[in-house]
Amino acid sequence: MKKIFSILLFSFLLFSCENHKEKIEVYLLKNRVKTTEGIAVLEYVKLKKIKYDTNLENIKDCNYDSISKQLIYGGKFTVDKKNIETKPLITDEEVLKLNLKKSELILSEIGRNRITQLKPNMKDGIQFVICVNKQPYLTGYFRSNISSNIYNWNYIGYDYFDHKIATIHDKNFVIRQNEGYEKWKPILCNLNQYPKLVSAFRNTNRIIE
């Protein structure tokens, strides 16, 4: 009887540990989310009573920084859990490490290929979110390395074209930001701003500090 009880207790503890393991996954979004920065271009046009013409057609979905007079292509955004795709782009098993100092997301070869095979959106990028147990923590953009647009929010540069021809800029997918919209001044993302995400990497022994 004691032996049976011990087996049941062990099975319960094992199940509990597996059930409470922090799963770190990368998801794409069902629908694009507008940035919380600036003002919508169409709203600004209406506010300033600017005549709408065909030149505005390509930027009608953008936001505008009325102070710096710059269009916002890759601004800060937040995500509702309901807007996250059902299946992750990058699974927990494919997330190998996080280099905290270098802001590098280190993935398996399968995970890296999934990103590089994403057809790039040269203007707006592809929005993603890093989740812990499907709870969103870090939002950002997959940005083509040959895009000319400046993203000031979190982004990961990637190469969609043949790596034998092109230079691999971010082999381990560095998470960067840019200081403002006017000039290209990329900086590393301060991942300590996301303590719960960092804690999940640390608790699962997947962090390089």
Per-residue pLDDT reduced to its tens digit, 112-138: 999 999 999 888 899 999 999 999 999
Give the pLDDT score at 10.
45
Domain presence at residue 137: yes
pLDDT > 90 fraction of the chain, expressed in percent and rounded: 52
**Structural domain of 200:** 22-33+75-208
Predicted model pTM: 0.83
Cβ–Cβ under 8 Å, residues 101 and 208: yes
- Give percent helix, percent strand, percent coil of the chain, each to the nearest 5: 25, 30, 45
Q: How many domains does the chain have?
A: 1
Q: Poorest-confidence range of 35-49, 96-110, 157-171, 178-192?
A: 157-171
Domain presence at residue 138: yes
Rounded to whole angstroms, the Cα distance separating 31 from 190 reads: 27
Give 77's pLDDT tier (boundaries 50, 70, 90). very high
Domain presence at residue 39: no
